[in-house]
């Protein structure tokens, strides 16, 4: 896990050399604590998924706040962390981003054959 967060921070430093990455470090800490003991169907610790999401966002050139939201994107649905908890730690802007991603799971997709690519395109 340390290598994943280190890679994320390196990518962000490359794209945003003067950015304060405290929000990303804090989001990682909270997500890791919240997802402690959870694993994917593959057996991989759940936090690896959120780190990969944040890494994709960073690789696309998105800012540290967006990457922090990527780290936290499943905490409201899958853990005991609440809206108020996130608001107290990060403020309303980040909570709004996290809730926006959470609401994507409620989307209904158009078309008879909905592939993963179609879902991604419709999400965007």
Tens of pLDDT, residues 68-87: 999 999 998 889 999 999 99
Active-site hit among 33, 36, 44, 77: 77
For residue 63, indicate whether it is catalytic.
Answer: no
Verdict on whether the full-model pTM lies above 0.95? no
Q: What percent of the chain has pLDDT over 90?
A: 67
| Residue 35, both tokens | 């997802």
Active-site hit among 78, 89, 92, 112: 78
Q: Cα(105)–Cα(58) distance, rounded to whole angstroms? A: 22
> Between 22-34 and 2-15, two packed helices, what is the crossing angle to 10 degrees?
150
CA distances in angstroms from 52 to 6, 21, 70, 111, 122, listed in the order given = 12, 17, 9, 29, 21
pLDDT at 115 over 60: yes
Tens of pLDDT, residues 28-77: 999 999 999 988 888 899 999 999 999 999 999 999 999 999 999 999 88
For residue 78, indicate whether it is catalytic.
Answer: yes
Between 103 and 25, the higher pLDDT residue: 25
Average of per-residue pLDDT values in the chain: 86
């Amino acid at each position: 896990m340390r290598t994943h967060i280190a890679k994320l921070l390196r990518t962000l430093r490359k794209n945003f050399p003067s950015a304060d990455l405290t929000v990303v470090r804090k989001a990682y800490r909270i997500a890791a604590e919240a997802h402690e003991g959870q694993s994917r169907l593959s057996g991989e610790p759940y936090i690896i998924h959120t780190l990969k999401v944040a890494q994709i966002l960073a690789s696309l050139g998105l800012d540290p706040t967006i990457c922090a939201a990527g780290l936290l994107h499943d905490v409201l649905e899958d853990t005991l962390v609440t809206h108020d908890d996130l608001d107290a730690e990060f403020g309303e802007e980040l909570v709004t981003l996290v809730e926006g991603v959470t609401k994507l799971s409620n989307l209904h997709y158009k078309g008879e054959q909905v592939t993963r690519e179609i879902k991604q395109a419709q999400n965007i």
